[in-house]
Amino acid sequence: MFQRIFLVFVLIILLVSNPAKGQRDNFDYVNPSPPGGRIQIGLITDLNSEVLRYTFENATTIINAELTTQLEARHAEIDYGNSMQGVERLCRMMEEGVGAVFGPSALTTGQHLMNVCDSKDLPYILSYMSDSNEGFNLHPHPADIAQALHAVISAFEWSRYIFLYQNAAYLSILDALMSIYGSSGPFISVVRYDLNLNGNFKSVLRRVRKSVDSRLVVVGSSESVAEVLKQAQQVGIMNEDYTYIIGNLDFHTFDLEEYKYSDANITGFRMFSAQKPEVQNLMREMGYLQKLTDDERFNDGDTIDSSNIDPDDEETQERIRQKEIDNEVIRNGSCPITMEMALLYDAVIAFAETTKHIQYMPQPLDCKLDADNVQEDGSTFKNYMRSLDFDRNTLTGRIIFDGPRRKGYALDVIELQSTGLVKVGVWEENKNFTFERPPQQRQVTALDDNSMVNKTYVVLISVPNPPYASLVESHKKLHGNNMYQGYGVDLIKELADILGFNFTLKNGGSNYGSFNKTTNTTTGMLKRIVDGEADLAITDLTITSEREEVVDFTIPFMNTGIAILYLKPQKSEPTTFSFMDPFSKQVWKYLGIAFLSVSLCFFILGRLSPTEWDNPYPCIEEPEELENQFTINNSLWFTTGAFLQQGSEIAPKALSTRTVAAIWCFFTLIIVSSYTANLAAFLTIENPTKVLENVKDLSENKGGVQYGAKKNGATRNFFATSAEPIYIKMHEYMSNHQEFLTESNQEGVDRVTNSDTKGGNTYAFLMESTSIEYNTVRNCKLQKVGDPLDEKGYGIAMKKNWPYRDKFNNALLELQEQGVLAKLKKKWWNEMGASVCTSGSDSGVVNPLAVNNLEGIYYVLIVGSGMSIVYGVTCWIFHVIKKAHSYEVSIRAAFWEEIKAVVDVTNNERVLKGAASVYSRSRNSSLESIDSFATDSDKDESSSSSSSAEASDAEENE
């Protein structure tokens, strides 16, 4: 409704202004021929006007060669989004008698112009994505783009992804996708990337990086989608973890050079290829593709002789045409022909095709509001145009209309690889889509005088020597390079793809070769390279200074070092005293010391504390003697009962002895709990017996282990030339025991595997750590012992001063940067034939608890016992002083009396009424009552106690 009101408003303005018909502001006449026998077609542009005008002109010129009624192209340029200016230019064209109008890219402007054309029955053709059902639109409908996206997403088997769109105009694709999925489909996170309308999408892309989804479908305008990819790389989501599907059909025009080696999977669509002849012709006419001379076509070192080119030789001409495309068209992985240009070209072709079948002579039309004239043959022309079905001379393929929507076309599914965009499939409506990826080709370096392209070299490998090279197991008889597989075979294939050479693999045997400076002779593979029988040798060939005197090496493609291959530790046989394993010997020793020390504390504190002296006869109120329960035997028994958590009939009474008992019980709780826990681990996990820990143990033949290495190789030479005493000793051992040396690494591995561990006749093999790693993941009986003894690398051997050494080095660096070397190692070490063995450390080993694990509880025991002893001695001293004052004897005499009673360890009874006692010879000659003697915590008697009561007590005691 708004559009029609706006249209009426524009027509009123035009009616009022009513400029002269001869006025031609901003109009360009491409062919100023008289209109007789010609049909004028008008182009209105608002963006990219120059290239669209050239495309429009070239399409008209090309198609006029086939037409009897020529087409005359007219062009008008307007400001983007200026609908009033667009309607004004349209009316000028209609007054000149145009037969069709090709509209601008702005959606609102195009909608207004379409309404004007519909009102005058004038064909209106547009070439941008729209879900409108009016006019002729050669661009695929959003619903069809959604079907193509659905086909690729289904092929990828995505269960969830992010739908990244520019604005609401592209939500029609999402609506169509949701209609296809119905009630069941993947989890889709819908995110708009152009939130601020300022071209900065990084804040949204950072949210994408933090999300759990790494698969994205991106739809939007060509400029914004290209910027999304650029900013995605800047925020760190353009790597191997992310996969992109681009829903913009101009993907082939993007500058993708920066993303070729990002390892991100980027997939898109295109309606045409740069290799199509019609596309090439358009590029030549527009200056994108230079017409090279015969000599210029091959000035980069191609093997074709330009002086002998036969113009009738179709194969040669095809190579020339392909070379023009490769050298001139695809710049940084992009093509200059956009979808807008291609669809405009095809729109002219479609209009011209209709004029071949129906007579159409358009008449000038009046744009006045009260004018009711329409194009007489307009409806007939449009109806016939909707019935077209052809693909000749088109850039974007077959053109057929279903109403206003285009159908019948196919979309190439393209994928970005290191060589550029590669076609991996074709999507067509109502047909099943499958990926048809061709073998990935690497970009061959530019040809020069030192080129390796199409040259063949002999490459030596060592067979069998897995994982570097081995024979392919097959029921068919294989020949040539197909007979071999392995890391080295794959590596030379990768290098051949980059450098463009061919190669022939030959078995060079197990002798890699060495150089004897004395005799100036070489052996093994090195000799064959020096003699010219082979060009390269690729295997686990170590780079050494000795070998580099006769051959050259590339940079290392793998780093390694000499290590020890040995059997995994065997489970030890249980011993008689295996119950003592949970604690170390030192812990057991300290535990015995603690046991005796605490028992002694009980004995001493028991004799010092008055509270521990009890009346042995409870029925006698005034006993003549007292008895102490903490004898040596009882102290040991009490400590033992507490340690075994069983208790005893002895119960401490004094505060000092109770404190020691509490500390000892706490100590035993921790000790027993720790012992129980570690014992359970020892019973469930048996500790293996390790014979070898490092190279020192091996050199000393610890446990009777014999050892050796490969007879001829860098490992043996390492010990022969080393100045380290331990390695000299090992060299002498191996020299004196030639029977322990092997002809190949595999023989050494087999010898280790078949060692007799029970008989003590075990064997260790010295070899490169990478080979050990390969064998340990395949044989669970084997392990690597110790750290590598040295650091070295494997390189590709070649002739001395070979001119292609730098090319190989650069190619190896490229493979390393792209992660190809790491992938190859993972493939042949951890995937091909690997078992469930792990290369980690012995996680099941249980170690006995040492003193440092339990030292804390020992500190608690020592401090607690010490405090108890100090407290007990202090109470005893106060008791003696109190008793001396009570009996009015000297403190010295009282101390001497009490000390004699304490140190008399053979007697656990104390006589209270003895004539020899210092207390009997005192002036009062009285003894303390049992109550006053029985405690060390009683305070002095009250000052109100009478002396007569004390005298009577003394008489009774006497």
Q: Which has more pLDDT, 663 or 224?
A: 224
Q: Does the pLDDT value for residue 760 go beyond 80?
A: no
Side-chain-side CA neighbours of residue 419 (13 Å): 14
CB 523 within 8 A of CB 510: no
pLDDT at 840 over 50: no
Looking at this protein, which amino acid is placed at residue 288?
Answer: Y
Residues whose CB falls within 8 Å of the CB of residue 199, separated by 6 or more in sequence, listed in order: 224, 227
pLDDT one-digit tens code per residue, 249-296: 999 999 888 888 777 899 999 999 888 888 888 888 887 765 444 444
Q: What kind of architecture, by CATH, is found in domain 141-270+409-439?
A: 3-Layer(aba) Sandwich (3.40)
Q: Is 689 known to sit in a ligand binding site?
A: no
Helices and strands (DSSP H and E) totals, the chain: 29, 36
Name the burial class of residue 5, with classes exposed (0-12), middle (13-18) and buried (19+) by CB atoms within 10 angstroms of its CB.
Answer: exposed
**38-138+338-392: CATH homologous superfamily?**
Response regulator (3.40.50.2300)
693 annotated as a binding-site residue: no
User: What share of the chain in percent tops pLDDT 90?
Assistant: 22
Stretch 432-439: mean pLDDT:
80
Find out whether 431 and 413 touch, Cβ atoms under 8 Å. Answer: no
Q: How far is CA 713 from CA 473, 495, 546, 793, in A?
A: 28, 26, 11, 14
Residue 946's Cβ-count burial label (10 Å; 0-12, 13-18, 19+) is exposed
Helices 2-17 and 83-96, axial angle in degrees (round to 10): 60
Most confident of 216-220, 329-333, 422-426: 216-220
686 is in an annotated binding site: no
Mean pLDDT for 198-215 is: 90
824-858 burial code (b ≥16 CB/10 A, e <16)? bbeebbeebeeeebeeeeeeeebebbeeeebeebb
pLDDT for the residue 905 = 66
pLDDT band at 13 (very low <50, low <70, confident <90, very high): very low
Q: Compute the distance between CA of residue 712 and CA of residue 773 in angstroms, rounded to an integer.
A: 21
Comparing CA positions, the residue from 177, 174, 238, 173 lying closest to residue 205 is: 238
DSSP string, 500-541: --EEEEEE--S----EETTTTEE-HHHHHHHTTS-SEE-SS-
Looking at the predicted structure, is the pLDDT value of residue 786 above 70?
yes
pLDDT at 866 over 50: yes
Task: Determine the pLDDT at residue 450.
Answer: 65
Amino acid 925: pLDDT: 42
Least confident of 23-37, 236-250, 688-702: 23-37
| Exposure on the CB side of residue 175, measured as CA atoms within 13 A | 9
Q: Which of 361-370, 394-403, 624-633 has the lowest mean pLDDT?
A: 624-633
- Please give the C-alpha separations between residue 558 and each of 484, 535, 791, in angstroms, as whole numbers: 20, 20, 11
pLDDT, one tens digit per residue, over 89-133 is 999 999 999 999 998 888 888 888 988 888 888 999 988 888 777
User: pLDDT band for position 15 (50/70/90)?
Assistant: very low
Q: Which H or E run contains 284?
A: helix 277-285
Residue 817 token pair = 């940067």
For 689-705, what is the mean pLDDT? Answer: 77
Instruction: Compute the average pLDDT of residues 65-86.
Output: 90
Coil/strand/helix, residue 771: helix
pLDDT, position 45: 92
The conformation of residue 703, written as its DSSP 8-state character, comes to G
Could you tell me whether strands 136-137 and 124-126 are parallel, antiparallel, or unpaired per DSSP bridges? parallel
By C-alpha distance, which of 275, 170, 162, 283 is closest to 222? 170
CA–CA distance, 618 with 627 (Å, rounded to integer): 12
Q: Which of 460-469, 491-500, 865-874 has the lowest mean pLDDT?
A: 865-874
Positive or negative: CA dihedral 343, 344, 349, 355 = positive
Does 688-786 match 578-618+625-684 at the fold level? no
**How large is the average pLDDT for residues 61-78?**
90
Q: How much is the CA Rg of the chain, to the nearest whole Å? A: 50
Tokens for 401, please give them: 């209309």
Give the percent of the chain with pLDDT over 70.
78
Is pLDDT of 393 > 60? yes
Angle at 828 between CA 824 and CA 831, to 5 degrees: 110
Q: Which of 138-147, 567-576, 865-874, 914-923 has the lowest mean pLDDT?
A: 914-923
Give the amino acid at 98: V
Residue 575 is classified by DSSP as P
Query: Among 68-82, 621-635, 902-916, which is the least confidently predicted range?
Result: 902-916
CATH class of 688-786: alpha beta
- The 10s digit of each residue's pLDDT in 145-195 is 999 999 999 999 999 999 999 999 899 999 999 999 988 889 999 999 988
- 3-state secondary structure labels for all residues of 124-166: EEECCCCCCCCCEECCCCHHHHHHHHHHHHHHHCCCEEEEEEC
**What pLDDT is attached to residue 514?**
84
Q: Is 513 left (phi over 0), alpha (psi -120 to 50) or beta?
A: left
pLDDT of residue 472: 86
Query: Which pLDDT value is given to residue 156?
Result: 92
Torsional sign, CA 207, 210, 211, 217: positive
713 or 118: which leads in pLDDT: 118
Region 578-618+625-684: CATH code: 1.10.287.70
**Cα 143 from Cα 137, distance rounded (Å):** 14
Domain boundaries 456-561+795-831, corresponding CATH code = 3.40.190.10
Residue 360 corresponds to which tokens in the numbers above? Answer: 């159409």
What's the confidence (pLDDT) of residue 4? 52
305-330 mean pLDDT: 50
Question: Quick check: 332 pLDDT over 70?
Answer: no
> Within 10 Å of residue 110's Cβ, how many Cβ atoms?
24
Residue 415 counted as an annotated binding residue? no
User: Please, what is the average pLDDT of the chain?
Assistant: 78
d(CA 87, CA 519): 96
Q: Is the pLDDT of residue 745 over 90?
A: no
Print the SS3 string covering 69-116. CEEEEEEEECCCCCHHHHHHHHHHHHHHCEEEEECCCCHHHHHHHHHH
Nearest partner of 651 among 667, 666, 672, 665, judged by Cα: 665
**Segment among 28-42, 60-74, 192-206 with least mean pLDDT:** 28-42
pLDDT in tens, 716-742: 888 888 888 888 888 888 888 888 888
**Run of H or E residues at 405:** strand 405-407
Q: Report angle CA 468, 471, 475 to the nearest 5 degrees.
A: 150
10 Å Cβ neighbour count for 299? Answer: 12
* Cis peptide leading into residue 616 (ω within 30°): no
Give the model's confidence band at 685: pLDDT under 50 very low, under 70 low, under 90 confident, else very high.
low
DSSP 169-213: GGHHHHHHHHHHHTT---EEEEEES-SSSSS--HHHHHHHHHSS-
Beta-carbon contacts of residue 557 (< 8 Å; ≥ 6 apart): 491, 793, 794, 795, 796, 812, 815, 816, 821
Confidence of residue 938 (pLDDT cuts 50, 70, 90): very low
Encoded amino acid at 624, one letter: E
Assess contact for 188 and 160: CB atoms under 8 A: yes
pLDDT tens digit string along 360-383? 889 898 876 567 788 888 889 988
| In the chain, domain spans | 38-138+338-392, 141-270+409-439, 456-561+795-831, 578-618+625-684, 688-786, 852-895
| Other Cβ atoms within 10 Å of 637 Cβ, number | 16
